[in-house]
Amino acid sequence: MERLTPIERDAVASAAAYPMLPLVEQWAAINSGTRNLPGLAIMAEQLAERFGTLPGTLTLVDPDRVERVGADGRLAPLDHGRHLHLSVRRYAPVQMLFTGHMDTVYPADHPFQAVTRLDANRIGGPGVADMKGGLAVLLAALQAVEASPLAERFGYDVLINSDEETGSASSAALIARVAAGKVAALTYEPALPDGTLAGARGGTGNFTIVVRGRSAHAGRNPEEGRNAIVAAARITLELARLGSDDITVNPARIDGGGPNNVVPDLAMLHVNFRPRALAAIERTGPAMQAIAERIAAEHDVGVAVHGSFNRPPKPIDDGAARLFETVRAAGGDLGLTIGWRDTGGVCDGNNIAAAGVPVVDTMGVRGGAIHSAEEYMLIDSLAERAGLSALTILRIIGAA
């Protein structure tokens, strides 16, 4: 701490002292699975109460319209919760973005609901690491910076969405809007247990390909039918061949069909792509459409492709490298070793990077076993990560 200025030292101490653990316990006790709209509404109100103590204008933003393919193969609306948006000092010379998500992967009927103290330094519970702990860290850091003499030079947006765990379909446009013009962004996904951050990330694309054939009796007149399952299987095999060094293809499920004596007239292929470069997206999208059209013609079936590459890859460009170095240096001055490594996972950091804004997207707590009933958070990482964020923000303000 010897290298910190008095202003920095005060902010780090203030952030670390903020009562974060009770907030994590309170928030993690609220089930806010992405599809649990009543739970998300409660969570949004709780967050609005806490983040509303910061200056600026806070709103709960209605989600954008989203559709998904239903069991009948038709598009139907898919409801989402509202997103929290706080805007502070738009006139300030330094403008940053802070993002997080209020939703978890645990639905209302999931058996993992309780928050428990696992040992002296570990708390278990749904979302304690991913990312209700991160939201508490963000709040503590911003409160500390607001109390510093540099606050008037600092403007920012806080965006906490309700649908990150399912791809941010109803908040992607909002993310792009609030990211515009920011010098940097910090996102509060959890770090690894040893504090390692995520560096470059691959992208993702999720698609449902609906095949409509013609039913017929499998014994009497099968030649009059058009087998949707067979056509979907053909598409599956050809899509799998699109995998290469810069993209992986995972045909995950085929739905459809019925009794053994009926030629199936409906099949739905669900497929996930993980591109590691924009060129892979540009190549694979048209190739998928061409495969669908060719198989449709060969099998005399109807084929419709639904979905998108919703998160492009996130490389470490010069701007991101400089931001990582700012975080690393701040950590070093706090006695922390900050490293990062590339990952195949995706998050809203991908969307922010696509908007041209440098981002570090694992500024949250240290924890592990996320997306499982063993999820945990390391309690001492609350103060550690809040101090790291506060110092990083002050360094960005001072460098601008």
CATH code for the domain in which residue 278 is found: 3.30.70.360
- Strand arrangement, sheet containing 367-368: 116-119, 122-124, 376-378, 367-368
Would you state the pLDDT for residue 400? 65
Q: Within this chain, do residues 367 and 305 fall inside the same structural domain, yes or no? A: no
Higher per-residue confidence, 74 vs 1: 74
Indicate the residue type of 49.
E
Helices (H), 222-367: 228-240, 278-299, 318-333, 348-354
Structural domain count, the chain: 2
Q: Within this chain, do residues 105 and 19 fall inside the same structural domain, yes or no? A: yes
Mean pLDDT of 27-52: 98
Q: Within this chain, do residues 25 and 53 fall inside the same structural domain, yes or no? A: yes
Instruction: State the pLDDT confidence band at 399, using cuts at 50, 70 and 90.
Output: confident
Q: Which domain holds residue 223?
A: 204-311
Domain end residue (candidates: 311, 339, 354): 311
Q: Within this chain, do residues 60 and 21 fall inside the same structural domain, yes or no? A: yes
Would you state the pLDDT for residue 279? 96
Q: Within this chain, do residues 47 and 160 fall inside the same structural domain, yes or no? A: yes
Q: Within this chain, do residues 277 and 320 fall inside the same structural domain, yes or no? A: no
The verdict on residue 288 lying in a domain is: yes
Would you state the pLDDT for residue 1? 65
The verdict on residue 1 lying in a domain is: no
Q: Within this chain, do residues 185 and 212 fall inside the same structural domain, yes or no? A: no
Q: Within this chain, do residues 239 and 168 fall inside the same structural domain, yes or no? A: no
Q: Within this chain, do residues 257 and 123 fall inside the same structural domain, yes or no? A: no
Write the pLDDT tens digit of every residue in 296-347.
999 999 999 999 999 999 999 999 999 999 999 999 999 999 999 999 889 9
Q: Within this chain, do residues 137 and 22 fall inside the same structural domain, yes or no? A: yes
Would you state the pLDDT for residue 150? 97
Mean pLDDT of 82-93: 98
Rg of the chain on CA atoms, in Å: 24
Q: Do the beta carbons of residue 229 and residue 264 sit within 8 Å?
A: yes
The answer to whether residue 362 scores a pLDDT higher than 90 is yes
The answer to whether residue 76 scores a pLDDT higher than 80 is yes
Q: Within this chain, do residues 226 and 210 fall inside the same structural domain, yes or no? A: yes
Domain end residue (candidates: 311, 326, 352): 311
